[in-house]
Homo-oligomer: A and B are copies of this chain.
């Protein structure tokens, strides 16, 4: 993909995100720790937030297979690589990507030092929360916002900015910190896989440096196991103190057919388990399940308008169409939030 093509992909994603905000704000809200009406299985120490059903059974049987020494499906621990999409798979992506809220907040925070922004688009629209005008500013406008908010700092400054933001920001519908808008069943799945010798990775279209500062605390995934989209950095020594400067150039877009590329770049071997929720994850699941030996792929299907938000093939944001069409023939598990998840969000802040 050309550099232009990559930029285009990024901004198409952001624009469609913006355009969907209005649609999704009207949809159902979450409810924390409310048992699903469907399936009231007895408590179980393994994956307690998953109801008994096809999805939970598929996970348990896969893990049993790969860990059974001497069995035909056995996979030695170093090859037990599991990859997880982030937005919509590990945490909420509605009513908009958390990173989009971050971009808007960053523009607002920087506005006092940029008095011209009050009258200059697309900054004016971001400051005023005018999503329609933002979307209308197109790729060029959004490129300007992303580069104004994500580049120009050192990597350590940016890490502090993200850390401070994630501590104070609140989800617009629930008022909870974004780090509490994570899916309890997926937290349990991450821990269960790790307890069985798996190494767990995040593989997200979102910014790698937007996730690393909190992924270890929230998901138990260290920075070196976070893969995402990135901008270029440059090493520079300032008064004997070296820094890595964040440059206004895209380096890599970790989405769609970029996901297997990012996985290969960072991990260097094919995962044996992949978890996603949208067609942006299709190639990651395809790459995972076309390898030899034991494989597991799962799509989280957002079908619960009561406890979360119901969206799939008609949502331009986190759209899931091809995945639903081909899951059965490819042997991919579709986990229904309504049926398969006893709990959606954790009752309290993950430690």
Contact of A155 with B by CB under 8 A: yes
Contact of B283 with A242 in the complex, beta carbons under 8 Å: yes
A: residues with CB less than 8 A from B are 1, 78, 81, 155, 199, 208-209, 212, 216, 222-226, 230, 233-235, 237, 240-242, 244, 251, 257-258, 260-261, 264-269, 283, 286-287, 290
A242 touching B287 in the complex, CB below 8 Å, given contacts A224-B266, A224-B268, A235-B260: yes
Residues in chain B near residue A260, CB distance under 8 A: 235, 242, 244
Taking CB atoms, residues of chain B closer than 8 Å to A81 are 224
The answer to whether B283 touches A212 (Cβ under 8 A) is no
Measured CA separation A331–B251 after assembly (Å): 34
Cβ contact of A199, chosen from B209, B224, B234, cutoff 8 A: B224
The CA-CA distance from A112 to B268 in the complex, in Å, is 31
Q: Provide the bound-state CA to CA distance between A261 and B269, in Å.
A: 22
Pick from B209, B216, B242, B286: contact of A237, CB below 8 A. B286
Identify A286's interface contact among B78, B208, B242, B286, CB under 8 A. Answer: B242
Question: What is the bound-complex CA distance between A258 and B244, given in angstroms?
Answer: 10
A123 to B258, CA, bound (A): 34
Residue pair B235, A257 in contact (C-beta under 8 Å): yes
CB nearest to A235 among chain B residues: B257
Q: Which residues of B sit under 8 angstroms from A208, Cβ to Cβ?
A: 268
In-complex Cβ contact of A233 among B222, B241, B261, B266 (8 A): B261
